[in-house]
Chain A
Amino acid sequence: MKLGGQIVTFVIAWAVLLLLLGINVLLAYQPIGGLHGFVPIGIAATQAFIIMAIFMKLRGRPSLKWVFAGAGFFWLMILLGLSSTDYMTRAAWPL
């Protein structure tokens, strides 16, 4: 197997993923207050983005794969977003 440009990309992606994992674990022990729920999710989203773009080969020309990869997450956002309108405001109303 030739050591082509693609393989280098894969290995760099892998290294970045591990790095992000390390950051995630380290930050878990830092007093970052109210952010402690959001930071891991943000890091996970970045990792997921890298995996999908590089390992699942989404990068490159726009294609139909983008649509359906995006659709899953878009619909997930509908579910999470609209159900959380209830949980965020249930106690607040009736006033």
Chain B
Amino acid sequence: MTVTTFIPAKSTAVKNYLTAGFGIRSWLLTTDHKRIGLMFFGSVTFFFFIGGAAATLIRLDLLDPAGRLVQPDMYNRLFTMHGVVMVWFFLIPSIPTTLGNFFLPLMIGAKDLAFPRLNLLSWYLFNASGILAVYFLLVGGVDTGWTFYTPLSSQYATGHVLPAAMAVFVNGFSSILTGLNFIVTTHRLRAPGMTWFRLPLFVWAIYATSLVMVLATPVLAMTLALMSMERFLGIGLFDPAIGGDPLLFQHLFWFYSHPAVYIMILPAMGVVSEVIACYARKPVFGYRGMAYALMSIAVIGFFVWGHHMFVTGMSLYSGVVFSFMSFIVAVPSAIKVFNWIATLHKGWITFDAPMLYALGFVGLFTTGGVTGLVVATLAADVHLHDTYFVIAHFHFIMVGGTVSAYFAGLHYWWPKITGRLYPEMWARLAAILTFTGFNFTFFPQFILGYLGMPRRYHAYPPEFQVWNVLSSAGASILAIAYILPLAYLGWSLLYGKRAGSNPWHATGLEWMTSSPPPEHNFVRTPVVTSAPYAYPDPETLADEPAGRRPQA
């Protein structure tokens, strides 16, 4: 990149964003996108472990076919809690609100987001709704599953359905505000010379995600509001007793909740593109194609929701339409996988922890993707719908995909966020454990699914036990892999080596400022003159320093 760096001559002269203020007020009332990003990081980490605790209990209960660890009602509350917390309070906000918040303005050369106060409001709404949700999920719980299907949720469930729905409703505002902020920022606050096709793919990904957030979330809000009214009044728009159609709820719900899957996976794709380019020392293969693929996934993702409803009694004609669209949306995803692989071709690949996570992502995402095709195929879905096959499929995408990418991004940008390096060996170990543990946990569930074990069963026929035990054993590896980073990343905050401004010799504006970045990101507004990922050609590579391990 022909961009000069924008590090102040004496970096001690300018305060970085962490040292700009110290009191609790300087955090709680901050409008700095970097601080808010960190605060979101704290929040989503908290919710990740809440959701993870529920998952642990579920897997423990399933060790035994009779499910004697917890009562059926308790089990139902656990998987509802796992679903609600993981979907709305971890997966959807994870990458956008933390890495997106922190790096979007940095990567486009802006001083902050367009609406910093809205950004802070979004964090408060997020926490308020999260705490509300967790509180009601703990006291009494909710026994509807995260999907809140009517008429179970509106008329029959006994738990705290109303407060939980309200929490998700409020969470939606947080999501919309964040998405709106990102869209406006990307449009209006790009640095001079930062044209659309000079944007890093992570920015494209966050932009596409934000579009989905602002256009899908309101429908969920309306759906939950209508469901809540039905529960509150005892009669409502989905009530079969007056001729209402329970499938209408599902249409509206999945109009949000299917695109929501793309809210989870698109940012992950963005992170992985950055990481693979950096550690293969090559521009992302087919950059424009990758950007178009992100946008088309975001748009076509709205045409496929009905594939959650093939066996529900929806019109068969609709089923055919939705299945067709689901196959179409898989094409851009396939393109992305091919392009990542092509990026590796003739690169200078190193296997730092972020790269290991990213390569793991590509593998797991592919497995999740092709099994997605299996369940998108109409007749196969008749058998596989609502079995563990579906559970395995979407965990491959969301946990294998999104969470791996989240960790990839977290490690990749850790030096920029904190100014410290993480311990490489521990991080590689965690990355390998994640991949191994993940496959052990969820691959057996494909088999369980085809054998016909339905989801949301607290007890199951004994012949399925061996696969369930295998799955639970894998989950224990996964648990270690997720707790490990908490320890060594925490350690690195105090004892990690100081990172320079660009420890990976990466391109991108975020590496052109000091680590941690100064309060307003850049001392001088950068001017961009070239495309992203300008990693040197192999011929000139010899000039680069051999060991990229940065000096302390």
Q: Which residues of A contact B (CB under 8 A)?
A: 64, 71-72, 75, 78-79, 82-83, 85-90, 92-94
Contact = CB atoms under 8 A, between A and B. Distances in A.
Contacts of B215: 71-72, 75
A82 B317 contact: no
A71 B315 CA distance: 28
A57 B313 CA distance: 45
B328 to A, nearest CB: 13
Given A75-B215, A78-B302, A93-B315, A86 B187 contact: no
B450 to A, nearest CB: 26
B66 interface: no
Given A79-B219, A82-B306, A85-B321, A90 B315 contact: yes
Q: Per DSSP, are chain A's interface residues mostly helix, strand or loop, or mixed?
A: helix
Nearest to A91: B315
- B219, B313, B318, most chain A CB atoms within 10 A: B318
Given A64-B187, A85-B321, A78 B315 contact: no
A89 B317 contact: yes
B228 to A, nearest CB: 20
6 closest A-B pairs by beta carbon, nearest first, are: A90-B315, A89-B317, A89-B315, A86-B318, A93-B316, A83-B251
Nearest to B322: A82
B315 A86 contact: yes
A72 B216 CA distance: 10
B314 A86 contact: yes
Contact of A85 (B187, B211, B302, B317): B317
A89 B318 contact: yes
22 contacts: A64-B187, A75-B215, A75-B302, A79-B219, A79-B255, A82-B303, A82-B306, A82-B321, A83-B248, A83-B251, A83-B255, A86-B247, A86-B315, A86-B318, A88-B315, A89-B316, A89-B317, A89-B318, A90-B313, A90-B318, A92-B315, A93-B317
Interface string B210-244: 01000100010000000000000000000000000
A49 B305 CA distance: 29
Contacts of A79: 219, 255
Nearest to A95: B316
Interface string B76-111: 000000000000000000000000000000000000
Contacts of B251: 83, 86
A91 to B, nearest CB: 8
A90 B306 CA distance: 13
- A64, A86, A92, A93, most chain B CB atoms within 10 A: A86
Interface in B290-314: 302-303, 305-306, 313-314
Nearest to A75: B215
B302 A94 contact: no
Given A64-B187, A71-B215, A83-B251, A78 B317 contact: no
A68 B247 CA distance: 30
A75 B211 CA distance: 11
B58 to A, nearest CB: 33
Contact of B318 (A64, A75, A78, A85): A85
Interface string B375-391: 00000000000000000
A93 B187 CA distance: 46
A89 B255 CA distance: 19
Nearest to B256: A79
Contacts of B318: 82, 85-86, 89-90
